[in-house]
Amino acid sequence: MTMEDENQVTPGVDQPCPDRKRKYSLRNVLLIIAALAIITPVAYHLANRSTGGMHTRPAAAVGTSSAVHADMPVTVTALGTVQPLVTATVRPQLSGVLFKLLFQEGQMVRAGQMLAQIDPRPYRLALAQARANLARDEAQLAVARLDLKRYETLLRQDSIASQQVDTQRALVRQLIGTVAADRAAIGTAELNLDYTAIKSPIDGRAGIRQVDIGNYLTPSDVNGIVVVTQLNPIDVSFFLPQTQLSMIGHQAGSGEGLSVQALDQNDSRILAEGHFLTFNNQVDTTTGTVRAKARFDNGDNTLFPGQFVNISLLVTTLHDTVTVPVSAVRHGVPGDFVFVVQPDNTVKLTPVTTGPSADERIAVTSGLAAGAIVVTDGADGLEDGSPVRLTGDKNQHGNKTHEGGHHQTESTDRHS
């Protein structure tokens, strides 16, 4: 065959182009990749269905607890301020130089106990003068009465004029009034002398003294000598929402009274126990709250005037109600709910209605029966139907039960 024959093109036959071949190869590769992207999820889904719908996610290790019947106290909490029943500023009743101080700062004093003394000497002299005036006027009255008796005798004998008798009678009555005034002056002088001894008006604790010996005191002194505060009993003032007035008022008027506890600011220690005293007679319209008071026997002086305390007011007690640990209750779109462990070691999302809580347990008023096993720990990644694994048994529902009906996971298996 000649060169011309080799170069001759056969009529009606297309000769393949190298560029076109490369385009066809790239298109085929892209089609294969797209087909695999579609087929792979479908094949995975079919394979998953062929295994009977088994969960591929591993079972989460959880801690559980049983829902049990218990008594749940219904309490109202508030921030309170300790207030003494009586706070007395001890002031002098008269003017004078401070002569003695007879108390120690911070000392517990009794009503009538002498705390200080003003220089009594001027007032003793005033008392002596009042007594002397009384003695003089009593002597004059005695003489006037004798003269009146003589004049009345002479008048009966018609020896003197009746006007002279009348004048003597008036003098006797005048001197009687003078003697009465002298006796009152003696009483005033004795009272002033008694006022030089400044006494405590109440039982309580003496504060820091405000004056020193040698100072001249007057009744108008604002600070006085010392402030005495009654500590036993003592009140705590706090505010409650107006929505709770009817419930608390009904329980307070039932005759049983309401128990109140005063706790420290961390709610870690009970400082004192007392009883609810009263409400104020009107609601604060700006805050919607009402002021209330509770009274405490503060025999050990754990409550101090002006101190801030947390008040826990026991309103009533729910008897034999279903309770679970507070950590078992979750919050989400359906509201409050718990995860209940099923016999097949899966969990069921169960909406519940909760009530009051105390001692790390909360009342469930509806949605849960006693005896149900609820998840308390490791529930963050759970959803309805998720498999779980309990302590001591990774496959069966026969869980290892601890005291109090609690099921706890091993520390190495627990998911945070």
pLDDT along the chain (416 residues), means of 10: 46 51 63 68 52 60 90 89 94 94 94 95 96 97 95 91 94 96 97 95 94 93 94 93 81 70 90 90 90 91 93 88 92 89 91 88 91 89 88 39 38 34
Measured distance CA(385)–CA(339) in Å, rounded:
9
CB 81 within 8 A of CB 265: no
**One fold for 76-85+231-318 and 93-116+199-229:** no
Helix/strand/coil for 380: coil
CATH architecture of 93-116+199-229: Beta Barrel (2.40)
Kindly report whether the peptide bond that precedes residue 233 is cis, defined as omega within 30 degrees of 0. Answer: yes
What is the reported pLDDT for 144?
Answer: 95
Domain 60-69+319-407 sits in CATH 2.40.420.20: yes
Measured distance CA(91)–CA(219) in Å, rounded:
6
What is the reported pLDDT for 57?
Answer: 66
Residue ranges of the domains in the chain?
A: 60-69+319-407, 76-85+231-318, 93-116+199-229, 121-195
Class of domain 76-85+231-318: mainly beta
Measured distance CA(262)–CA(250) in Å, rounded:
22
Measured distance CA(221)–CA(96) in Å, rounded:
12
CATH architecture of 121-195: Orthogonal Bundle (1.10)
Measured distance CA(401)–CA(175) in Å, rounded:
103
pTM, two decimals, is: 0.61
Beta bridge pairs of residue 237: 81, 293
CB 389 within 8 A of CB 341: no
What is the reported pLDDT for 20?
Answer: 53
Residue 340, C-beta contacts closer than 8 angstroms, at least 6 positions apart: 347, 348, 350, 368, 372, 373, 374, 375
What is the reported pLDDT for 163?
Answer: 93
Helix (H) or strand (E) holding 36: helix 18-50
CB 354 within 8 A of CB 368: no
Residues in the chain, overall count: 416
Beta bridge pairs of residue 312: 77, 261
